[in-house]
Structure 1
Amino acid sequence: MPRDSRRTRIAQAVLAASVLLLSACGAPGPGGGDDSAEGAVKGQVTFQTWNLKARFQKYFDGVIKDFEKKYPGTEVKWIDQPAEGYPQKLSADAAAGTLPDVVNVSPDLAYPLAKAGLALDIGKAAGKYRTEYLDGAWQSQEMPGLPGVYAFPWYLNTGPMFYNKALFRRAGLDPAKPPTTYDGLFADALTMARNSDRKIAMLAGTPSIEDFGRYGVRLMDARGTAFTFNEPKGVELLTRYKELYAAGALDSQALTSVAESAGRKFAQQSVAMNPGSALDLENFKRDAPGLYENVGITDAVNNTGKANMYVQGLMVNAQSKVKPAAVALAHFVTDRQNQMAFARQVTVFPSTKGALDDPYFTKEDGTDATRVRVAAAKSLKTAVNYTPVVLSDQMKTVLRNAVARALQGRQSPQAALDSAAAQCDRLLKTG
């Protein structure tokens, strides 16, 4: 489902309900199924993607034809589901025992299926392919509390940061040296607010779970059973954001900001930094030429040396009747050659090692698309998925509200994060 890297992640609640139903029906728990994928690669494989057929039918028809040629005796039945209602469709298929053999999932959608024993442990069944993929991409398919890897990594994305060089110069900041760490960001943000008499904010939004991760906060315990973003480092981050808010270094509407409104603030040149994409650059060129000529591109700030990664994967149904063929297809679709071909058709990035060194991802040609593509590809080589796969949309709202209370001074940062962690833990336990 290649869309903007900041696309809305779908809640897990409907899938969690299917886990309960499957458990009641006696479905195998994690590790309880047969992880063997040995045997002849033959038979009909059902392959389900997520909102891809309308734009990429020719590409997938070619991949399927090549797979069937490589493995005589196989036949691929391709199913493409619309974006709307996709988790509900997975839930219904899981409950009915009709999940396709190979399923396009994001990690948050794979997690409850893995808990129910419906996702094949790729680490066991196909560990020989481990070295073909970027470390961060492979690790993104690990599930908290479960000893395995539950999908082949597929396409990736990340969000570089745009910054306004003219606003940096006006505030006395060096436009050739945008901040790369949170210390640098906080210092520059305070300078920006002070030297603009609070007219220009550095940022338009409050910290999300990804910011906590990039700051170096431990987000969950090792077993994935409790949230830990309320530890001292998390409190430190929120305290510093509170200082920014008080100083006018965050936009006045930051507490209610969404990605679209933050983008408008940046386009209007009232905010100095904001995440972006190649499409945003094209819009700036058309609608805001004064901004466009001053846009700089840099990595999102972090204290870890690793950017945030958004990832899609291909899960193999642990109950598939054609498991060897299903594993072979999932690997074939996600191998370097096919991922490179897909990345040339849409703004996504391969998860295979070495692919990001291709000139397509390293050489600029003066166009907006390559400016963003090269910047994003460079950061993806070591990127990680900071957002815990168990973090539902409801939990994100809990954290966002806690952050707002702390910034407004209605609760201390410690009390706000303690409350949010406790609420998220309760939600985690109730599914």
Structure 2
Amino acid sequence: MPTSRRTFAVAAVAALVLPLSACGSGGDGGSSTDASGKVEGDITFQTWNLRANFKDYFEGLIADFEKKYPDTHVKWVDQPGEGYADKISADAAGGTLPDVVNVSPDLVAPLAKAGLALDLDKAAGQYEKEYLEGAWASHRIPGMDGTYAFPWYLNTGPLFYNKSLFEKAGLDPEQPPRTYDEVFDAALKIADKTDGEVATLANVPTIEDFGRYGVPLMNKEGTAFAFNDAKGVQLLARYKELYDAKALDPQALTATPESSGKKFLTGAVAMNPGSALDLANFKKQAPNLYENIGITDQITSTGHVNMYVMGLMVNAQSQRKPAAVAFAHYVTDAAHQMSFAKQVAIFPSTAGSLDDPYFTKEDGTDETRVRVAAAKSLKTAVNYTPVLFSEQMKTELRNEVAKALQGKQSPKEALDNAVKACDRLLQQQG
């Protein structure tokens, strides 16, 4: 669920152009950051495509909150995945935004800019220490002070590799590459040993790859992109080297997660990201691969893997801010995140939760094998995708990367053009 919801979120946010210039922070004083006072009153809590599978969980959660705070009443509304960004946009423009809203960082950015997302650093800063540092920071907006949502659940994925392909190329199957330079070197060796029959990677570099390589993605003000610096050019030049040697799959320019997965399944690709669901698939469809499967962290040259994060935003214009903040914190506290994580394959964003035996001890099953590997990497993970990086910007970057790999322009020209296009789209957002 988390991966598919995030994928849809990113697609939907391209349409999220909030007509909020007239909204600002409102003239009724409702946008004050003061959330002190008695926890009471009626509030509305909006989730994103969760009722079908987790109705009992959320109804129980709300009942327990209302029992703890007898003067409150929480109305739960759940919106379908399709059109979620448009629904938030319409509610924001119409002044009907719920008190507590399930968001991803890219969805909260325009709301924060419009003065509709409560700054939790000011209103609820006492809770910051309860969350992982990277998770709390994930809902900060470049160019703005503050944090604009409680971090809720996290997700990440390990990297699978085919031990037998590494061994055949003379590489140690028990010591997989961990940095980009190591994976590039291994990829060239595998391509050389197999005369280009086996690629190591199946996908072109994305904005997350540039982040994990250590490339600065934006300036500190959040007003311009910066991934065309020397380090960014170096990364793309290495990918071009792989592409020419067939160490990067020749069909990477048009690859989808499904097509990459099939290549890995058939032994045409040596490494591929995945989840516990993939392990079950390997066991059924490719038993030889399953017997030779290796699990390692995402490739990173920064020491920090990429995380995907969902959050709960408090409406800055809520008339019941004490209750809204209290409820958003209640849903995302350590105990409730842990109980939710045991119902679905997600990870808590609360400090210390990933040390629970549920996330540290294997029991021999594929599910725990992947869960333990992912949880370990999440403790210091970072959300590399800039909150201002839209779907249109991803397309621009992908198109320019493709031209560089095909030799139609240099890596420097490609990234300069991508940054120019993304900066233009950024100005249109603002």
Q: Answer yes or no: same fold by TM over 0.5.
A: yes
Post-superposition shift, 1:259? 1.0
Q: CA deviation at 1:170?
A: 1.0
Tell me whether 1:247 sits opposite 2:245 in the alignment.
yes
Amino acid in the other structure paired with 2:142: P
Secondary structure of the residue aligned to 1:395 is helix
Is residue 24–residue 114 contact of structure 2 (8 Å, CA) maintained in 1? no
Q: CA deviation at 1:10?
A: 3.0
> Structure 1 residue 2 and structure 2 residue 2: aligned?
yes
Q: Note the alpha carbon deviations across 1:184-208, whole angstroms, 9 max, x for none.
A: 1010000000001110000101100
Counterparts of 2:313 and 2:6, CA distance in 1: 22
Matched-pair contact (CA < 8 Å) for 2:204–2:253: yes
SS at the partner of 1:41? coil
1:330 CA displacement = 0.2
Of residues 19, 43, 46 in structure 2, which corresponds to 1:48?
46
1:81 aligns with 2:89: no
The answer on whether the counterparts of 1:159 and 1:277 sit within 8 Å (CA) in structure 2 is yes
Is 1:15 aligned with 2:16? yes
Structure 1 position 394 matched with structure 2 position 392: yes
Structure 2 counterpart of 1:424, from 410, 422, 425? 422
- Residue matched to 2:230: 232
- 1:177 matched residue in structure 2: 175
- What is the DSSP-based 3-state SS (H/G/I as helix, E as strand, rest coil) of the residue aligned with 1:428? helix
Is 1:114 aligned with 2:115? no
Aligned equivalents of 1:311 and 1:361: distance in 2? Answer: 18
Cα distance in 2 for partners of 1:88, 1:73 equals: 33
Q: Secondary structure at the match of 1:75?
A: strand
SS at match of 1:7: helix
Query: Is 2:139–2:151's contact at 8 Å kept on the other side of the alignment?
Result: yes
Question: For residues 64-75 of structure 1, what are the structure 2 equivalents within 5 Å?
Answer: 64-75=62-73
Distance 1:175 1:227, change over 3 A: same
Question: Partner of 2:191: helix, strand, or coil?
Answer: helix
Residue 275 of structure 2 is aligned to residue 274 of structure 1: no
Secondary structure of 2:73's match?
strand
Q: Which residue of 1 aligns with 2:102?
A: 104
1:6-37 deviation digits (Å, cap 9, x = unpaired): 73423434432x2xx321355459x9930000
* Alpha-carbon distance in structure 2 between the residues aligned to 1:71 and 1:136: 31
In 2, the alpha carbon distance for the partners of 1:4 and 1:79 equals 20
Q: Secondary structure at the match of 1:103?
A: strand
Q: Distance in 1 between matches of 2:168 and 2:248?
A: 18
Cα distance, 1:327–1:189 mapped onto 2, change above 3 Å: same
Which residue does 1:335 correspond to in 2?
A: 333
Q: Do 2:30 and 2:319's aligned partners in 1 also have CA atoms closer than 8 Å? A: no
- Is residue 107–residue 389 contact of structure 1 (8 Å, CA) maintained in 2? yes
Aligned-partner SS, 2:45: strand
8 Å contact from structure 1 (residues 277, 372) kept in 2: yes
- Inter-partner Cα distance in structure 1 for 2:116 and 2:5: 27
Contact 2:23 2:114 in 1 (8 A): no
Normalising by structure 2, report the TM-score: 0.97
Structure 1 residue aligned with 2:310: 312
Contact 1:5 1:310 survives alignment (8 Å)? no
Q: 1:389, 1:12 → 2: CA distance?
A: 10
Partner secondary structure for residue 305 of structure 2: coil
Contact 1:316 1:326 in 2 (8 A): yes
* Residues 304-334 of structure 1 deviation map (CA, whole Å, 9 limit, x = unaligned): 1100010000000000011000000000000
Mapped to 2, the partners of 1:397 and 1:158 lie a distance apart of 22
Superposed CA offset, 1:373-406 (max 9, x none) = 0000000000000000111000000000111011
Describe how 1:294-305 pairs up with structure 2 within 5 A: 294-305=292-303
Aligned pair in 2 of structure 1 residues 26, 240: CA closer, same or farther (>3 Å)? closer
Aligned partners of 2:362, 2:267: CA distance in 1, in Å? 26
- The residue identity in structure 2 corresponding to 1:231 is D
1:159 deviates by 1.3
What's the CA shift for 1:420?
A: 0.5
C-alpha displacement of 1:262? 0.5
Q: 1:190 aligns with which of 188, 191, 200?
A: 188
Distance, in Å, in 1 between the alignment partners of 2:30 and 2:413 is 41
Distance apart, 1:3 and its partner CA: 3.5
Shift of 1:220: 0.2
Offset from partner CA, 1:120-166 (integer Å, 9 cap, x none): 00111000001000000000011111100000000000011000011
Which amino acid is 1:406 matched to? A
State the alpha-carbon separation in 1 of the partners of residues 196 and 105 from structure 2: 41
Structure 2, unmatched stretches of 5+, are none
Letter in 2 for 1:155: Y
CA contact (8 A) 1:6 1:159 kept: no
Q: Hey, what's the Cα distance between the residues in 1 that align with 2:425 and 2:177?
A: 36
> Could you tell me how far 1:55 is from its partner in structure 2?
0.4
For the Cα contact (< 8 Å) 2:26–2:317, is it kept in 1?
A: no
Partner of 2:412: 414
C-alpha contact 1:189 1:249 (8 A) present in aligned 2: yes
Q: Does the Cα contact within 8 Å between 2:160 and 2:293 map onto a contact in 1?
A: yes
CA distance in 2, matches of 1:108, 1:200: 37
Alignment partners' CA distance in 2, 1:382 and 1:48: 29
Runs of 4 or more above 6 Å deviation: none
* Distance of 1:111 and 1:11 partners within structure 2: 14
- In 1, distance between residues paired with 2:95 and 2:88? 10
**Which shows bigger deviation, 402-411 or 284-293?**
284-293
Deviation, structure 1 residue 2: 2.5
Contact 2:101/2:312 (8 A) holds in 1: yes
CA distance in 2, matches of 1:3, 1:177: 28
Cα–Cα, structure 1 residues 43 and 5, in superposed 2: closer, same or farther, change >3 Å?
closer
- The aligned amino acid for 1:264 is K
Give me the whole-angstrom Cα distance separating, in 1, the residues matched to 2:202 and 2:168.
Answer: 19
Q: Which runs of 5+ in 1 are unaligned?
A: none
Identity percentage over the alignment?
67
- The structure-2 alpha-carbon separation of the partners of 1:99 and 1:73, relative to structure 1 and needing over 3 Å to count, comes to same
1:85 CA drift (Å)? 0.6
Aligned length: 427
TM-score scaled by structure 1?
A: 0.97
**DSSP-derived class of the 2:16 partner:** helix
Q: Could you tell me how far apart the structure 1 residues matched to 2:147 and 2:7 are?
A: 24
